[in-house]
Amino acid sequence: MPEHSVPARLADRTTLRLGGPAAALVTAATEDEIIAAVDALDAAGTPLLVLGGGSNLVVADEGFDGTVVALGVPDRDAVTVTEESGPDDHHVEVTVAAGVVWDDLVARAVAEGWVGVEALSGIPGTVGATPIQNVGAYGQEVAQTVRRVRVWDRRLRGVRTFDAADCAFGYRTSRFKRDRFDAAGGRHVVLSVTFGFARGELSAPVAYAELARSLGVEVGASAPLAEVRAAVLGLRRGKGMVLDAADHDTWSAGSFFTNPVVDPALVPEGAPAYPQPDGTVKTSAAWLIDHAGYAKGYPGDGGTVSLSTKHTLALTNRGGAATSELLALAREIRDGVLERYGIELENEPVTLGCQL
């Protein structure tokens, strides 16, 4: 049965270490526990938030007047592996419970020779969150390996399975992010994710120039899985993107703004430009922020919030901050970029009880 705890301090459950209290908290690990908790709360009309690692969440200082369903890891069948053999290759299908820590899965994939998520090493959070925002980094995204997503549909009150083609994956988005149930949560609660991996000792082709340089290979080449994981973790640590309680640069929600996709005419001279299939161009939010006058560490020492000293895209809690202070900094940066370049940045983290 789910375990109850009343109340809960949400600052203790987010990587920003910000947020007021929740009225109640339920820990649910198995599929049956998650469904029972969510369905009972919906039937009672109680606002709820399904919470994994809390790494992509900004919670208001006032907290959440509802119940948090915190995902745990089931004792059995957390990861189920099915071997597949084809005429020309060898694949493995892996079904993973939503509460499993994402980087634990990546570490196992590298150790087992499962190819396709090695560049996603070090990303905090749980497996269930990854298809919601189509997590991606260093040239990979989960949409490349997701085969199916099993969910609880809160409107239909039933279990559904979406094949990858039906997940409507896009840049840091999916149907699971877009389909809302209410202000606090989505319509679909992810129960498990099934991935399809090729077996091998070498990575998928390295698609990100910075990672390729770190590995000493050309873009499009492959490298040993373990070396790719180590290189990615090294790059992430250098940017304050691997959680470390002693390092305030990691007290963040990761990249706070997504890279904007805009009309080519809006891209400033000198800014990175990545043409998209529909004729638009994706450019760098970090470049825009930096060139609009917001350097790493802005606004400087002594404050409770700032840009990371290691990475322009991360807004950080320097200790003792309030969510309102973080949002004020985010608005200042967003509005400054808009005024300078006519491009409005969009926040990547989910906001609860507050907005940018």
Res 193: pLDDT: 99
Q: Are 326 and 317 a contacting pair, CB within 8 Å?
A: yes
Alpha-carbon Rg for the chain, nearest whole angstrom, is 20
Q: How confident is the model at residue 3 (pLDDT cuts 50, 70, 90)?
A: low
pLDDT at 1: 44
What residues are labeled active site? 172, 255, 348
**In the numeric block, which tokens belong to residue 175?**
């149907």
CA nearest neighbour of 236 among 311, 140, 157: 311
Element (H, E) at 325: helix 323-341
CATH 3.30.43.10 placement within the chain = 3-71
Work out the average pLDDT over 104-112.
Answer: 98
Residue 168 near residue 187, CB atoms below 8 Å: no
Q: How far is CA 65 from CA 90, 118, 161, 268, in A?
A: 49, 39, 31, 43
Q: What angle do CA 200, 201, 206 make, to 5 degrees?
A: 95
Identify the CATH class of 3-71.
Answer: alpha beta
pLDDT at 127 over 90: yes
* pLDDT for the residue 88: 55
Sorting pLDDT into bands at 50, 70 and 90, what band is 183? confident
Give percent of the chain with pLDDT exceeding 70: 97
Tokens of 195: 């991935």
Q: Identify the band that residue 182 occupies on the pLDDT scale cut at 50, 70 and 90.
A: confident
Give the model confidence (pLDDT) of 158-177 as tens digits.
Answer: 999 999 999 999 999 999 99
Count of residues making up the chain: 356
CA angle at residue 16 from 99 to 318, to 5 degrees?
155
- Name the segment(s) of the chain with CATH classification 3.30.465.10: 79-236
Closest CA relative to residue 63, chosen from 16, 8, 26: 8
pLDDT at 342 > cutoff 90? yes
Looking at the chain, the domain(s) classified CATH 3.90.78.10 span 248-352
Residue range 14-24: mean pLDDT, rounded: 97
Where does 248-352 sit in CATH, by number? 3.90.78.10
Distance in Å from the first CA to the final CA of the chain: 37
Q: Tell me which of 8 and 96 has the higher pLDDT.
A: 96
244 and 259 in contact (C-beta within 8 Å)? no
Average of pLDDT values for 69-93? 85
Q: Is the pLDDT of residue 85 over 70?
A: no
Tell me: pLDDT of 11 over 50: yes
Indicate the helix (H) or strand (E) that contains 197.
Answer: strand 188-199
Kindly report the average pLDDT of the chain as a whole number: 95
The whole-model pTM stands at 0.92
Integer Cα distance of 114 and 218 in angstroms: 22
Q: In whole angstroms, give the CA distance from residue 88 to residue 342.
A: 50
DSSP letter for 181, please: S
Q: What is the CATH number of domain 79-236?
A: 3.30.465.10
The CA angle 245-246-248, to the nearest 5 degrees, is: 85
Q: What is the average pLDDT across 104-115? A: 98
Per DSSP, the residues of 14-55 read STT----EEEEEEEE-SHHHHHHHHHHHHHHT--EEEESS-T
Indicate if the alpha-carbon torsion angle 155, 159, 165, 171 is positive or negative.
Answer: positive
